[in-house]
Amino acid sequence: MTDPRFELVGAKPQAEAAPQKMRRHRPPYSTAVLLALIVLPCLLAEVVMTRDPAYMDLAHCLVAPCREFIFGTDSLGRDIFSMIWYGGRISLTVGFLATVIATALAMIIGSLSALAPRWLDALLMHITDILLSVPSLLLVLFLQAFFRQNSVFTLSIVLGITGWMGMSRVVRTEVLQLRGCEYMEAARLMGGSFFYLLRRHLAPNFIPSLMFMAVMQFRSAVMAEATLSFIGLGLPLEVVSWGSMLSLAQQALLTASWWVVVIPGAFLLVTLVCVTNIGNHLRKVHSHGERNL
């Protein structure tokens, strides 16, 4: 069998075919740049900040934006410019952690539901439907009752636990399609456990279609953090975040100090719009590009 003529056909791989050019949507560069302009200073808050964001300079309460305080100060005399970056980091952290938790839950519950016997599937999906039918803020309020004092972590957990429902339905539909694949059966025969199958075989297949949902989940988590903190059920006043900064806004209305209201909200809005744009882009890429990315 050393004679090369007797070598099996196809024993050696052919030269790699040139990767096909796919028509791609133009990535939203301007959005990405804008988002980076907000996110990077937040991550490097210590460098950007001009003052200690927690320091209450009672001599300078409610100062309108000026040279010394670029974005003014709030009713406790804290420098809004520094708080924006410092608080942004916390807001984004909450959003990120909540998204991670929600995505993990959605992946577990969705694929469990798809792989489970029919009655368990029906039960899980019914519960999901019911939870979807309650305004998510109500669920959050209920869970909030478990924690007397909120921290970044407890809030992320609460937002994560209440945010998995929509995604888990997507995961379930995807897994139902993958379930019949023979490589799933092969792996199960070789002794792969549920979590092994999920991690190695299922997740890589459905993550592309989950990306858009995860980005949207991030958006709603950041929004929910702000709403809850504003109402006084989220992060306390001393934990600086965009939401807790806005919890002073209602007072500020009485004195018509617009900067306390407008500036943190504007940052929130711009971030959310950027995130939405990127999410929409991901969805378009996903629906037009090849499925096996």
The answer to whether 250 contacts another protein (rule: CB under 8 A) is yes
The stretch among 36-44, 85-93, 150-158, 276-284 that binds another protein (CB under 8 A) is 276-284
Q: How far is the CB of 189 from another protein (least distance, A)?
A: 6
Q: Are 97 and 153 in contact (CB under 8 A)?
A: yes
Q: Which helix (H) or strand (E) holds 173?
A: helix 165-179
The stretch among 81-89, 92-100, 106-114, 180-188 that binds another protein (CB under 8 A) is 180-188
Structure tokens belonging to residue 144: 């909030």
Q: How far is the CB of 273 from another protein (least distance, A)?
A: 5
The answer to whether 182 contacts another protein (rule: CB under 8 A) is yes
Q: Are 38 and 88 in contact (CB under 8 A)?
A: yes
DSSP 197: I
Find the binder of another protein among 4, 19, 117, 135 (CB under 8 A): 135
The total of other beta-carbon atoms located within 10 Å of residue 256's CB is 9
Strand partners, 73: 79
Number of residues that bind another protein (CB under 8 A): 72
Give the length of the chain.
293
What would the x/- binding string for another protein be over residues 136 to 175, using CB under 8 A?
Answer: xxx--xxxxxx-x-----------------x---------
* DSSP-based three-state secondary structure for 10: coil
* DSSP-based three-state secondary structure for 79: strand
* DSSP-based three-state secondary structure for 73: strand
Q: Of the two residues 47 and 189, which places its CB atom closer to another protein in the complex?
A: 189
Residue 16 phi/psi, 5° resolution?
-55, 130
Q: Of the two residues 68 and 185, which places its CB atom closer to another protein in the complex?
A: 185
The stretch among 65-73, 75-83, 97-105, 231-239 that binds another protein (CB under 8 A) is 231-239
Q: How far is the CB of 56 from another protein (least distance, A)?
A: 23
The stretch among 39-47, 69-77, 95-103, 128-136 that binds another protein (CB under 8 A) is 128-136
Token match 């004092």: residue?
Answer: 149
Q: How far is the CB of 52 from another protein (least distance, A)?
A: 26
The stretch among 38-46, 60-68, 151-159, 185-193 that binds another protein (CB under 8 A) is 185-193
Contacts with 292 (C-beta within 8 Å, 6 or more apart), sequence order: 205
The answer to whether 77 contacts another protein (rule: CB under 8 A) is no
The answer to whether 223 contacts another protein (rule: CB under 8 A) is yes
CA 145/CA 168 separation, integer angstroms:
25
What would the x/- binding string for another protein be over residues 254 to 273, using CB under 8 A?
Answer: x-x-x--xx--x--xx--xx
What would the x/- binding string for another protein be over residues 3 to 22, using CB under 8 A?
Answer: -----x-xxxx--x------
CA-to-CA dists, residue 245 to 93, 102, 158, 216, angstroms: 16, 25, 20, 23
CA 2/CA 163 separation, integer angstroms:
62
Q: How far is the CB of 268 from another protein (least distance, A)?
A: 7
